[in-house]
Amino acid sequence: MKKKTITLDLPDYLTLKTYQTIVNNQEKGQAEQLIEAVASIIDKDIDEVKRWPIKTLKQISDDISELAMPKEQFHTLVEFDGVLYGYAHMKQVTLGEYIDLENLSKDINNNMAAVCAILYRPVTKHRFDSLNFQIKQKVKSVNNKVANPFDYYTIEEYDSDKRKDRQKLFESFPAHVFNGAVGFFLGSASLYLNNILFSKSHSHRTKMTQEKKILESLSQTIGVGSEPYTVYLSPVSYRSQDTNR
């Protein structure tokens, strides 16, 4: 009997919608996790994937293992769906967006797109002479080499209604870029809180020097493919013990 050939089209990256689905399946059994992860990543019906041989599933899981566990990459400026988005740096975060971030993060596994729509907003102006783009996994990011890119662009003011309208779009945003942005936010938030405590007992001049050091420290992690922080979510495993037969 002739074996059935399965042809797959692997995506260039994991979207937030797919990543969120996979993360929320971690409480299920290993075999069920594997089947649903494969079906979600390659956009196949779960019932169809269930009919595939275990050996086939194992081969596919090996092929998508790197894609399924994306390494975080932090980018300050990313072009997504034809729009240039800039990361909302901690120094400019308003009380309103910080409160929304805090509330949405209480159920981060179900609010990834909403959080992403806060962290990345349309660039309203920039002072680069020109933008140098780099494309990796079909992610188009700005690769201008400057000491502190946050000083070179301005993003749209935060509006919760606009965020709600835009978050559906961000379900297609690259998960690895989102993870990098969240990791960077957590790191910068921690540093700025420490700076606030530090400034209470030091002069204004000393405070400014400390802030400069913080920005320099953070800027060293900026760039294509940088991995400054551990992913805040638990690593997802797609290898079922059942597939080792």
Task: Verify that 112 and 204 share a domain, yes or no.
Answer: yes
Q: What is the pTM of this model?
A: 0.74
Task: Verify that 65 and 81 share a domain, yes or no.
Answer: no
Task: Verify that 157 and 100 share a domain, yes or no.
Answer: yes
Task: Verify that 175 and 197 share a domain, yes or no.
Answer: yes
Q: Report, as an integer, the average pLDDT of 73-95.
A: 89
Task: Verify that 116 and 22 share a domain, yes or no.
Answer: no
pLDDT in tens, 4-39: 666 777 788 889 998 888 888 877 887 888 888 888
Range of the domain at 147: 77-219
pLDDT in tens, 102-145: 899 889 889 999 999 999 999 999 999 999 999 888 889 998 88
Task: Verify that 151 and 211 share a domain, yes or no.
Answer: yes
Q: Name the least confident of 3-17, 39-53, 57-71, 226-240.
A: 226-240
Q: In the beta sheet, which residues pair with residue 126?
A: 153
Angle at 117 between CA 97 and CA 221, to 5 degrees: 85
pLDDT above 70 (res 204): no
Q: In the beta sheet, which residues pair with residue 136?
A: 139
Cα torsion 37, 38, 39, 40: sign: positive
pLDDT in tens, 154-193: 999 999 999 999 999 999 999 999 988 988 887 776 555 4
> What's the order of all strands across the beta sheet hosting 133-136?
133-136, 139-142, 77-80, 83-87, 120-126, 153-155
Residue 227 forms part of a structural domain: no
Number of Cα atoms under 13 Å in the Cβ half of residue 22: 28
CB 78 within 8 A of CB 141: yes
- Rounded to whole angstroms, how far apart are CA atoms 163 and 104? 12
Task: Verify that 100 and 151 share a domain, yes or no.
Answer: yes
CB 15 within 8 A of CB 172: yes
Tally of structural domains, the chain: 2
Residue 5 forms part of a structural domain: no
Task: Verify that 23 and 58 share a domain, yes or no.
Answer: yes
